[in-house]
Chain A
Amino acid sequence: MPEDRTAFPWHDYYRRGLITRRQLVKLTAMIGGAAAVSSVLSEPRPAHAALAPAAKQVLRYPNVEPLHFDPATMESRPEILVGMALFDPLLTFDDAGKAVPVAARSWDVSKDGLTYTFHLRSGMQWSDGHPVTASDYEYAWKRVVDPDIASDYASAFYPIKGALDFNKGKTKDKNTIAVKAVDAQTLRVELTDPAAYFPRLVSTWNYLPVPRWSVEKNGKKWVEAGNHVGNGMFMLQKWDHDREMVIVANPKYWGAKPTLQRVVFTITDDTFRTSLPAFENNELDLTDQIQPGDIDRVRKDAKLAPQLHKYRWSGTAMMFCDTTNPASPLSKAKVRQAFYLAMDHKRLATEVLRGIYDPAPTVTPPGTMGYLSTPPLTGGVAKAKQLLAEAGYPNGKGFPEMKLAWPKLVTYDLVAQAMQQMLRDSLNVNITLQRMERKEYNAAFNSWAKQPYTAFIDRWGSDYEDPANWANILFDSEQDFFHTRWKNAEYDSLVRKGSAEGDPAKRRQMYESAERILNTDLPAIPIYHLGVIIAVKPTVQGFRLPPAAAAWYGTFGRVKILAG
């Protein structure tokens, strides 16, 4: 990865005065420590700048209309971003990957790795004054698994003993789910198998608590402002659907009070199209929705350019190949390897995608255990041609028709066309492109066996930065979320052992070995790692979005508004 990292336009930023020399040195020094990149890239602010008075501690932020803030069914970015401010998880993870207690002051794990006991802080209150107890977590977790709730994320609870059977409707008895409030301050959970990633799961939004009395009193309307009760640093004050939403500092919060007093979310359908003009017209204090088409203009704008900041997002866009369809050339590993080597990842990221994203020489993104700083396959186009010839298609001769599909997204449109061109130029093969609406794509994707496409472009982002969220879910032959139908016994064995392994050093070794196999056989060809460019007004201090959604807890608590 060093070569690709050098391609990142830091030097250009420094030359144009966007970052200081000190920052440049820091950034360069931290090439290998990608987890720290986001914090370093956050904007420089003079430490002595005066804070704005409390009444002006307001952040204006664009957001898409959330569906609700019910932890059981929260699933999209607009919900998670706000939801993590409205509720406290038991624990979270810092940028270095260390577990940090939040609502739980501590937790124990049994020797066999099967029982977790969380000890809650005492004296915590919900925003309406009810005490926060272990029962609130027990109620909430069992609720997510209830088939009547039909939560998209019920599967995140399957590691808990009894959860899958209850979700399948095999039993109606909630008490068969092994989550139990032993007393007001103690929550005990039993797992079916040891799962070293369980604390990571617990840090996600679906594991947040729920105020039972409000749910029972207001039914599905408990999520509306006025009824909504949370235990987080902020609380929901106003929600004018599709117009505006306001969260304010929660006076009953147990922990340090935030400097920021209010966040006003301007709700829009198309943040990509509407938020940058609103930011430029000073209606918003920041926007994290800048599309590739606007990047060049914004970078050239003397006023806007210094307000841009880039963050890493833990995710990778890939070309997922059907590895078993004998009619498809992609069933041959050598063809997949040839495609991988013929693609110029650096050009795709810096030229085609205007530097918003980073080149992805490997599948698992930096910051997640298993990430390889050097890809196992090398050799460039020359090697790619050789591999293609060995696969039976010398100079592309006889290469059968291959269809590549993707759900409509501007970055996929751009990379698909660029990849088509690159493969034609370097390997003399032609691929047919098919762009689809997301629903149409998902429908084809869900009936994979019947659909006519040989490969799909799609991406995977970390809910939480753990290899279990990558290696096990995506490529274990029994999970195979992207239907590559790839089966590698050694890989399966490594990742299954890895998910249960409690020793971090051994665990890392297992996942790195698995990643090496994955990036050699390439059932998915990595294209780019995700990132985001955010425009922030100079008066906003401390805003940053951690690379995985589960770590967004505390995002608004870090923000301060300077007197401007």
Chain B
Amino acid sequence: MGAYLLRRLLLAVPTMAVVYTVAFLLVHATPGGPWDNAEKPLAPQVIENIRIKYHLNDPLWKQYLLYLNDALHGSLGPSYVNTARDVSEIIADFFPVSLQLGVVAMLFAVGVGIPLGTLAAVYRNTAIDYAAIGVVVTGISIPNYVMATILVTVLAVYLHWLPTGGWGGIWDVRVIIPMVAIGFRPATTLARYLRTSLLEVLGQDYIRTARAKGLATRRVVVRHGLRNALVPIATISGILVADVITGSFFVETITRVPGIGRYFVTATTGRDYPVLLALALLFAVIIITMNILVDLSYAALDPQVRYG
């Protein structure tokens, strides 16, 4: 297990290098630069001063090495757009918020998705199953930012039950709308996969044996069925978690959550190269970590899986 983990971590290094290089080339290939931030045209000398200050007149390879050198020495540099702040500060400020929101959204997804998928499988082809499938189809069809807009309009503007947005941590009432908006789609994805997986497991001989032995349905489903049905779910969960943490740009904007997602959008539109590079690396770390965790979770769920 330890050797396996070490091997995976070592493999992550070249992956990160590739991500970094590709991201560097891509952000520099897009038209416009940080000096194009202003809505008004700038005097030529002003643009020249900005280019000199941020080494933008240097050849691309030199800029690449400059960034790399700084990054290897633990400095992500100053933001080009938000000149008063360093990239590491920005990430330290905003990433924990996205992480917290992602975690509660995922808990919501699991809390709703697992029972929903289980009910749909157990009550196959009944009204409960059809209702569950209806919820699943809704979840898959509605993008999270549309869901956020609907929730804000209904729960805040019309009913005045909740604030329209903001952030006060995971125990604050303002977490509800973004949590549901972000978590709803993964919840239905989990439910859909779990229904299929559980139906397959429930058709297995050992389940029939368990039933024949007179075990209660709940015990058969939860004890014997669910555990095995969760193996394929673990696979998609890794992707879902990474997606939830990194892919909530628009929900964060609509619900005024100060997360890293919307900073990513700001950095992209602002051509804030150092921030974009740092975020590309951060997101790569999240995805790699989730992949490793998923692989490790197989061992916990399926005793036949061994690492070494």
Residues of A within 8 A of B (CB): 67-68, 70, 73, 75, 147-148, 150-155, 158, 164, 167-168, 220-221, 223-224, 240-243, 266-270, 273-274, 277-278, 280-283, 437-440, 442-446, 460, 481-482
Contact = CB atoms under 8 A, between A and B. Distances in A.
Of B36, B38, B84, B152, chain A has the most CB atoms within 10 Å of the CB of: B84
Contacts of A153: 46
B283 interface: no
29 contacts: A68-B84, A147-B49, A148-B53, A152-B38, A154-B49, A155-B45, A158-B43, A224-B84, A241-B93, A242-B93, A242-B258, A266-B256, A268-B253, A268-B256, A269-B262, A269-B265, A273-B253, A274-B164, A274-B165, A274-B256, A277-B157, A281-B160, A439-B31, A439-B36, A439-B271, A442-B32, A443-B36, A445-B41, A460-B40
Contact of B31 (A147, A282, A444): A444
A155 B84 contact: no
Contacts of B54: 150
B82 interface: yes
A270 B253 contact: yes
B45 to A, nearest CB: 6
B41 A482 contact: yes
Given A269-B253, A446-B36, A482-B41, A437 B83 contact: no
Interface string B44-70: 011101101110000000000000000
B269 interface: yes
Contacts of A481: 40-41
A153 B45 CA distance: 11
A67 B43 contact: no
B138 interface: no
B163 interface: yes
Ranked nearest first, the 8 interchain pairs of A and B with the lowest CB-CB distance are A439-B32, A242-B258, A442-B36, A155-B43, A443-B31, A443-B32, A68-B84, A150-B53
Contacts of B160: 281-282
Contacts of A270: 253-254
B77 interface: no
B84 A223 contact: yes
Interface string B69-82: 00000000010011
B32 A266 contact: no
A158 B43 CA distance: 10
Contacts of B45: 154-155, 164, 167-168
A241 B258 contact: yes
Contacts, number: 133
Contacts of B167: 243
A99 to B, nearest CB: 24
B143 interface: no
B81 A155 contact: no
B156 interface: yes
A553 to B, nearest CB: 20
Interface string B3-45: 0000000000000000000000000001111001111111101
Given A75-B38, A439-B32, A444-B31, A220 B254 contact: no
Contact of B254 (A273, A438, A439, A444): A273
Nearest to B38: A152
Nearest to A270: B253
B154 to A, nearest CB: 11
B258 A243 contact: yes
Given A167-B49, A270-B253, A243 B166 contact: yes
Nearest to B41: A481
A277 B46 contact: no
A440 B83 contact: no
Given A277-B152, A278-B165, A437 B269 contact: yes
Contacts of B93: 241-242
Contact of A277 (B38, B164, B252, B263): B164
Contacts of B83: 67-68, 73, 220
A248 to B, nearest CB: 20
B126 interface: no
Nearest to A436: B31
Contacts of A150: 46, 49-50, 52-54
Contacts of B157: 277, 280-281
Contacts of B258: 240-243, 267
Nearest to B249: A269
Contacts of A446: 36, 41, 47
B14 to A, nearest CB: 31
A266 B156 contact: no
B230 to A, nearest CB: 37
B153 interface: yes
Nearest to A224: B84
A143 B168 CA distance: 39
Given A155-B46, A268-B253, 7 more contacts: A150-B53, A152-B42, A167-B49, A221-B84, A273-B253, A438-B269, A439-B270
A281 B151 CA distance: 13
B108 interface: no
Nearest to B165: A274
B266 interface: yes
B94 interface: yes
Contact of A439 (B30, B152, B263): B30
A280 B153 CA distance: 10
B96 to A, nearest CB: 12
Nearest to A242: B258
A481 B40 CA distance: 9
B117 to A, nearest CB: 33
Nearest to A408: B269
A154 B38 CA distance: 13
Contacts of A440: 30-32
Given A273-B254, A437-B269, A443-B31, A67 B84 contact: yes
Contacts of A151: 46, 49
Interface in B121-179: 152-153, 156-157, 160, 163-167
- Could you say which of B166, B252, B265 has the most chain A C-beta atoms within 10 Å of its C-beta? B166
A502 B255 CA distance: 52
A220 B164 CA distance: 34
A67 B49 contact: no
A283 B164 contact: yes
Contacts of B164: 274, 277-278, 281, 283
A166 B84 CA distance: 23
Nearest to A220: B84
A439 B269 contact: yes
B79 to A, nearest CB: 9
Contacts of A437: 32, 269
A147 B265 CA distance: 29
B260 to A, nearest CB: 10
Contacts of B166: 243, 266, 283
